[in-house]
Amino acid sequence: MSFLMPQTGATANSTARDEWNLFHFLSAANEDDLLRLMLGQMQEAMVQLDQDGRVIFANGPAVTLLGPAHLLQGRFWHQWLAPRWQAQIKQLMRRCQDKQLTLAPTEMTLQLGKGRSLPVSLSLSYLPAKSPSFVVTLQDLSASKAELDKLQQLASKDSLTGLANRRVFIEQLEQQWDKQTQKRHPISVVVIDVDYFKLFNDQYGHLEGDKCLQRIAAAIGLALPHPQCLAARYGGEEFTLVLPGCNGDMAWQVASVIRESINQLAFPELGAKVSVSQGIATEINGQFRTAGALLFAADTALYRAKAGGRNRVNAAG
């Protein structure tokens, strides 16, 4: 008399597969065969190493991640690690053999050759069997890293113009202020405001206003003298520049290029022209105590440019 429940087709197939796996586990010739059978059933990428760190076995997911098994076999594991991890992992492996320690999941980057790198979460376990070995478990972080990079890009960019946003501008200003003043190098800030932009919006509509800001932002971005400089949309129709290493004359030259470029922008379908007013402030000999004071001085210079008739550049005196 059987007390087993009737099996459906799917259940029967699953049971048969489990019995097949169990048969092979039980018939394993030794501990090594059993371990490799177990590793082969794991969904995580797992690599078995000997006591010296050479690859003995890599399961299917590991082969998918790292490359063909015959190219992995016999290689020293630390060859895939970035230099700062190589000595640390080798030291840990020596300690593991004495104290049976493990390495908890740790983010690092594998160097796979031909310029290919792979961000992973890596853990290491010591197996004190008759033939002691290590098992490395890997989790591919490429997708999550790419998504994080994308989110960081979105969080740092102004969605309309593609320039840096206000938060990034403030961060960069503070960082460059510290860096340049410590070296006694100059740093300049330029604040840019589109003249009569409210009237432009009222006359031509917000959609055309957005297009206008995009073209102005492109012209500003092209005027940056070197990659360390930053252009940002500070808010509304106001833009800002951080110019590390640029003295007052250099900042004035950048502002002049921007002024001329924007004066040349044409909107033939609208019959419109646009211009900008700009204020400049430069720290070079300790005249400003903080980055905030430098920005305030540039903003004050901007308002003097606007009061003086607009479409001009004014430098803090």
Q: Is 53 helix (H, G, I), strand (E, B) or coil?
A: coil
CA atoms within 13 A of residue 192's CA, in its CB half-sphere: 28
What are the DSSP E strand ranges found in the chain? 45-49, 55-58, 103-113, 116-127, 133-140, 187-194, 230-235, 238-244, 276-283, 313-315
User: Is 147 an annotated catalytic residue?
Assistant: no
Q: Which residues is 140 bridged to in the sheet?
A: 120
Q: b vs e for 261-282, b when ≥16 Cβ sit within 10 Å of the residue's Cβ?
A: bbeeeeeeeeeeebebbbbbbb
**Amino acid in position 59:** N
- Annotated catalytic residue within 237, 238, 269, 283: 237
CA atoms within 13 A of residue 12's CA, in its CB half-sphere: 4
Lookup result for tokens 């961000």 = 119
Distance CA 249, CA 252 (A): 5
- Residues with a known catalytic role: 237
